[in-house]
Amino acid sequence: MAGGNLRLLAENSAAFVRVPIRSIQMVVDLEDPLAPELTLEDFVEAHGTGPTAPRHRILNVEVLTCPEDQQPILASECGHCPRFVRRFDNMAYFRRENPVSAGSR
């Protein structure tokens, strides 16, 4: 029943665009401001060891491609977009048309 409901959702129609959200874990060095921010995998590869607690912090950065201008954006920025509908299962759902411009037509 729930699966049936999902299939009938408006997001699966042509009126919506689905954009995958990518989560990237970044390591930040708090003591050395000149140290480059690396992904966790790259950090382990470069240093041969994992990040240590007081000096390094791991940040989870969620990015996606903005359907408006095809530029990379943070997932948190989607909340300011009038086309954004919801985030579901690491996918961002947007309206194909901007409701503000469609309403002004």
Partner 1 sequence: MRASASAGKVNRTYLALPKTAAALTDARLFQEHGIGLFTYDQRNIEEALPARYFETAAAAPREVEDPEVSQLEKEVQQLRAEFAALEEAVRDLKEELVSSKTPATLEEGVQTYMPERSRTGLRVIDKLPAYLVGNPWVEVLSRRGRGESAIVS
Nearest CA to 85 among 8, 5, 10? 10
Q: Which of residues 2-31 bind partner 1 (CB under 8 A)?
A: 2, 5, 9
The residue from 86, 96, 97, 102 that contacts partner 1 (CB under 8 A) is 86
Which long-range contacts link 31-35 to residues 24+ away (Cβ below 8 Å)? 31/55
Q: Taking the CA atoms of the chain, what radius of gyration do you get in angstroms?
A: 19
Q: Are 39 and 28 in contact (CB under 8 A)?
A: no
76 binds partner 1 (CB under 8 A): yes
75 binds partner 1 (CB under 8 A): yes
- Tell me the backbone φ, ψ of residue 12, rounded to 5 degrees: -80, -5
Binding residues for partner 1, total number by CB under 8 A:
20
Strand (E) or helix (H) holding 6: helix 2-7
Question: Residue 88 CB, nearest distance to partner 1 (Å)?
Answer: 4
Q: Which is nearer to partner 1, 48 or 79 (CB)?
A: 79
DSSP, res 16: E
Question: Residue 55 CB, nearest distance to partner 1 (Å)?
Answer: 27
The residue from 12, 23, 90, 101 that contacts partner 1 (CB under 8 A) is 90
List residues binding partner 1 (CB under 8 A).
Answer: 2, 5, 9, 75-80, 82, 84-90, 92, 99-100
